[in-house]
Structure 1
Amino acid sequence: MVGLSLSILEKLKKDSDYEIIVMDSWEQYNNYSFDKKKYQIIQETYIADITNPNYYLPVLNEIKEKYIIDGVIPSRDYAVRTAAIIAEKLGKKGIGFEKAKILTNKYFLRKACEEYSIPHPRFRQIDSEKEIAEFIKDKPLILKPTRLQASIGISRIETKEDISDAWERTSSAREESAKEIEFGQEKEYVVEEYVGGQEYSVEALVDDGKIVFINITEKEIFEDSFVEKGHIVPANIDERLIEQFENEETNLVSKIGITNGMLHTEWKVENNKIYLIECAARMPGDYIFELIQYSYDFNYVDAYMKMMCGKKYDIKRVNSRVSQIKYFEAVPGILRDIDGIENLLEDYVVDWCLYKNIGEEIKPVNSSWDRVGYFIVVADDYEDLERLTNKILANVKFITQVEEK
């Protein structure tokens, strides 16, 4: 495993089929308060900067001398390129380094969309306010760092008057995520025309160039933000739209040349046309892999791991239930109390977590790290799912004290 992921380890820690070797920086182990003794499936942990081959390749040589490796997976965006290189060096299944570069750089992805006729918004790579002013026409723009994750540094530009503030906000953005680490991301930016409409994501497993599993997730975002507020698996959409997504995802896999791996692809639908927003070659965030397991009744992480190791895996392509994750909203300020927390103990709430303690500051939601907590609900149909979700939201409240300026 390239990059530590507690969520993946939690899904596999009772499975004796795996012996996992983890490679990551000391800072990551430390910031996760990682305790190896909790995970018997971990064979060994190695310390290395996973973004710098001068550090991780010597460590790889140590691992090769001691272990026989069956498969390689990345845990997060910053691990995708390294995992691809390691898989190539070991002769194992992987996405390939050239494909990994496309899927970890927003500008490279846009260029691939342009080359392969994958529907996408008008875009341009930029490195100054002047170039943004030259690009803007009659639609709002989205300005993004090409390599940051978790919606960090993304700005919306409505008019030319917004350009200066947006440029300052985006160009000064860095990975903060409570880990406070610079991953050596390239300081590059892309601007593109804003696409309105409903957001979706498509999760796919690709084995030997063929999509063997596909799911469509319906997304909700926080107001005035690009951060996800909730997800429904599978999306409650008609067959026509399902077919569109499946066709475009198949086209993307074929044209870019994805052979083996997991894809988490973000799309938007505006005026009955779908547009590719982003595509990642790693596990989906926000516990979407958990929602898939609850809805389709198979272990998505286990199937992915076995697939990448060239082993037999079990999947189910049709869901038997529906599930939803919802992130709580809270007024920014100092958290003083949480009312109704006992409601999270209801049987239909299969998982929940609160990220903030009493007395801590709650910030406006500008990145995924600013959210205060979540809960997951599972139901037999969409109507019941909505009813149960709304019941929790109505009864669990975060009480904050707004600090006077």
Structure 2
Amino acid sequence: MTSPAPRRPVLLLLSGSRRVVDKALALGLDVVHLQAPTMTDPSLDPLCLRSVRTDLLDVPGVVATARALHEEFGFAGVCSNHEPACAAAEAVALDLGLTAPGTGVAALLRDKARTHEVLDKSPALRSVWARLTGPEDALRVAGEAGWPLILKPVDGSASLGVLKVDGPEDLDDAWRRVRETLRNGHRYHEVLPVTGYLVEPFADGEEFSVETFSRGGVHEVRAVVRKLVGGAFVETGHLVPADLDAGRRRAVVDRVVAFLDHVGLAEGPAHTEVIVGGTDVHLVESHARTGGDEIPALLTLVTGRDMEADMLAHACGLPLPPAAPPLGAAAVKRYLLADRAGRVAAVDGTAEAAALPGVHSVRVWTGPGDTVRPATASWDRLGEVVAVGPDTASAAAAAERACRAITLRMEEQ
């Protein structure tokens, strides 16, 4: 008589993609999946022991649901790398005594105003800011720090609703646009509602993200990534590794590590954004998850390490999986964007772009008949090119050549 196969550890995953579910299964984990009713993917259900639809923004409700499921499945870990679900995932982990990013750090980082309030307690990390309840708050910050200003949602995502105000003459129009954003008419308002705004001085400089993985409060910097940003503050590309000299890289890393220590992020991935102008490193925001825009896939191309797989393994108390051979010393992603609003007639040149030297992949998610517009949020982007190379400049040049090979033809108006 053969013994039954040992039971696989069970992961409670909140709002996971097919990519993440597949990685969990490949690690030898079984998955119980919680999804928001408005963002479900029924094709994942057969892959999971159980799929439950629930409001992921209702943190007490998610904790109660998870507690009941834990009685049945005995979770080894819980996690999410989807922004709306990170606070609930951490709350569940704390409730069940499982590995968590910290003690409320995911919810703290979700609220940029609360994050500022915590940073205000550190003379080295605090900066000028205010909650934005009306134009007078912006005028007060401008009086202290000068123009221009940035107005941004306290809980926004995908660059939605971020506004630069160059002077007092632009403030009335900016406040009108703030109120419009607060009405939450955007595509994903049910899982990414905007509940408030803050105002801070505009930080002029180059933008970067720092991708870290923490264990026991020790922060491993996996990469510093240069961000390319368009006119509406929408990210138009990512370069790994960022072409920073050693001194500026050290300043960026030191600032981010001090920040993570101060807010209490101790376990798992974090994605922290900064602006570097001269010798100043301005903290923009941070998240207790892997970076969006599939930044982890770029890191895998360069380092061989998979941040998402590491997140899943660490959450469940498993050893981190071994690194794969890297494909290049650098990787660059560039997004395809519309330069005007209209209907797409055709997208030409994708096969030619994919065949160019150094190009790793080309993906286009628009086609004939689609209505497009210049990007005001990340979901307005139309496709992407990823290139690899022996250095960042070579990979960037390959990505640029591929972008130039692709033509978005619009219907005549």
User: Shared topology, TM-score over 0.5?
Assistant: yes
Please say which of residues 114-123 and 141-150 is displaced more in the overlay. Answer: 114-123
Paired residue for 2:198?
190
RMSD, matched Cα = 2.4
DSSP-derived class of the 1:132 partner: helix
Name the counterpart of 1:51: 57
Verify: 1:19 aligned to 2:30, yes or no: yes
The question of whether the paired residues in 1 share the 8 Å contact of 2:15 and 2:34 is answered with yes
Distance 2:367 2:325 in 1: 39
Which whole-Å CA distance do the structure 2 matches of 1:278 and 1:11 have between them? 29
The AA in structure 1 aligned to 2:100 is: G
Give the distance between the partners of 1:275 and 1:153, measured in 2 at CA: 20
Q: Residues 202-351 of structure 1: matches in 2 within 5 Å?
A: 202-222=210-230, 224-314=231-321, 321-332=329-340, 333-346=342-355, 348-351=358-361
Asked if 1:156 is matched to 2:164, the reply is yes
**Stretch moving more, 394-403 or 147-156:** 394-403
2:78 alignment partner, SS class: coil
Alpha carbons 2:37, 2:54 under 8 Å: kept: yes
Aligned to 1:102: 108
Q: Report deviation, 1:164.
A: 1.6
TM-score (norm 1): 0.90
In the alignment, the residues of structure 1 paired with residue 366 and residue 69 of structure 2 have an alpha-carbon distance, to the nearest angstrom, of 38
SS in 2 for 1:94: coil
TM-score w.r.t. the length of structure 2 is 0.89
- Cα distance change on mapping 1:114 and 1:402 into 2, 3 Å: farther
Whole-Å Cα distance in 1 between the matches of residues 216 and 133 of structure 2?
38
Cα deviations across residues 5-42 of structure 1 (Å, max 9, x unaligned)?
3264266166151212211222110xxx44126x73x3
Partners of 1:326 and 1:376 within 8 A in 2: yes
Number of corresponding residues: 396
| Contact 1:265–1:280 (Cα < 8 Å) also in 2 | yes
1:319-343 Cα deviation digits (max 9, x unpaired): 7621011001322221111121112
Q: 2:377 aligns with which of 355, 359, 367?
A: 367
Conserved 8 A contact 1:195-1:270:
yes
Matched, 1:87 2:93: yes
The alpha-carbon distance between structure 1 residues 142 and 179, as it changes in their structure 2 partners (threshold 3 A), is closer
- Structure 1 residue corresponding to 2:132, chosen from 126, 133, 139: 126
Tell me how far 1:275 sits from its aligned partner: 0.8
**Distance (whole Å) between structure 2 residues aligned to residue 191 and residue 396 of structure 1:** 38
Q: 1:81 to 1:155 in 2, by over 3 A?
A: same
The whole-number CA distance in structure 2 between the counterparts of 1:120 and 1:244 is 16
Distance apart, 1:169 and its partner CA: 1.3
Select which of 3, 17, 20 maps to 1:6.
17
Q: Is the 8 A contact 1:199 1:218 kept in 2?
A: yes
**Aligned residues with identical type, % of pairs:** 20
Amino acid at match of 2:407: K
**Secondary structure class of the residue paired with 1:310:** coil
Structure 2: give runs of 5+ residues left out of the alignment.
1-11
> Structure 1: 5+ residue runs without aligned partners?
none
Q: Which amino acid aligns with 2:58?
A: N
